[in-house]
Chains A and B, each alone.
Chain A
């Protein structure tokens, strides 16, 4: 005969409600852990997916994700010349916020270095990779864009041709993928009036320059688009991503590029480290603190519930002692209920959480390691929180049964 089970059956409604409450509380604790995991995964997702061995960024910056980095377009060719480099690609990345259907739409724009990269490596859930070098884009499904939908960015209109699943930037914004050219067009888009003003300013400057006075034919060149002016730098990249040839020494390649005084080099692990230590760390500590507090609160609430459940049973406990039940029976009664409370609460947390977490705006990732650790913690606080009740039950005198 299991006394704990009998008592639970007798007060089933109340016990069920209590367990549900504990379950919700544990679900929040679980969710906190999942949000943290999601943060870490989001942070490293891009670096992981892009799969580059080395990241070459502007000297002394921690770019291109943690901060802004600018490198010249020609860096790609310099890097390609380094022995051991299999491929080097342009990497352009920036975040924009526009409106679509009256709602703010935050997108992280990643440039694909067409034609080497058409986005075949992306986890497409619908549509196709890019098929032309302009005006097509692949968007993540969290952005809510549909295939064939058109969206105006800068002076051009782009058509959504593919949809990815789970591609979010480190900040959790959905990503769009266009060619590097398009991404730069979007990034460096200037209003027409600004272009006209700049052109006028250019002509005005030329009137004061000896070169233009002696060679007036040059003045005509000033009204051409910026990209065609030899004296003006073409738009810059965020970084160059490098794949090292199989068998080549990655450290040697990194060391060789590091000697150039205009760039810094990070390995994939180093880049991930930058993201985790720099960007996610505060959030992680914040969530950690919150989770610890919630765990303590759950333990206190459970202790209170178990203490109350014990108080309700004092007469029965006295009676059990009176008819000669050993302490182990009474201890078992309380401890088993504590474990059922924690265990079933945990189960509810897991089941409800699984249904609920996908609707959270940012990813909540439940790893089996985290789940196991939380299960151990719940078991721990179940046992710990039953101590107060057990202590009270042990103090009950058998003759208290006569005071009923």
Chain B
């Protein structure tokens, strides 16, 4: 009796260690093992995914180059009050001279020039010109600067420089949203001709949505068929569905060009059958149609796979039961079958939508002017214009849009409902 009472106070194992302690010890070993097993992947994802994402987030606001190279000018400019309509005091010009001389020697000043050129074109050449002459400037420096280039006498030049003197900037985001600073420093919409990104974002969303809907419309019947056929036949169909995965993306896209172009197979056939006349050939490629057709084809498997795996789990007796209870085949489908596939539609839909929203290569090849998507411009700024800040800002906005959509999806459909297979 006494031993029983004692064990009730602190449960111990046979050798007297408290039960909790030895349980924790046993579990710790399991946890370490699990951690070791996932460690390579964790490290890989950390290095190749999270680090770049955070780097991108950082780059979209980073402006280090200006305060670094203009190390004397920048602090003075930040203190300068530009509201009285006068040029900065002489000490600012003196500091600027010093920075220009040093920057010209270190060859860093031109980078500030191209950075500032994003804010207003002309800065690049202004900086290059000034850097060449700065070492000969004599006091008073204000006059020397203005003599080198009249723009230094323009209040706006200094205002912009002051605005971008900090270590961080929001101007990339403004550019990415087609906004800009007006003459007095207030934020305004860009004029119609210059605004491109909002249209692109909107087009990207619109086309991605259209592609998702088309994929769903094409994938639903085929998935249904595959889920009802015997395994052998459905495997064969599955191979056909997955075939696009086994051929190179470029080959497939080029094949679409061959099919859809003005002198291509489809137009030839339409002309041959007299459905269109020879001089009215349809433009189906190098425009939005081309992007939608080619991307629907490429992304179709991403819709078929989750749909198929969900439909596979729906017992055929559900439909039978519904009919037996008096529902016509249509009603049985709408009220019983369809609701059970929603989780697959959700998974496939979100997969296709998110992939197409960031798709790059196909729109670049077949998109022409009105079929290019936002990622094509991100790529352009990454590799051609080298405006990485803007590319990063566009990327972050895209990420933000996806997250917002995902949030609403979760609210409406519920992410837990999603079944990928």
The answer to whether A binds B is no
> Chain B residues in contact with chain A, CB under 8 A?
none
> Chain A residues in contact with chain B, CB under 8 A?
none
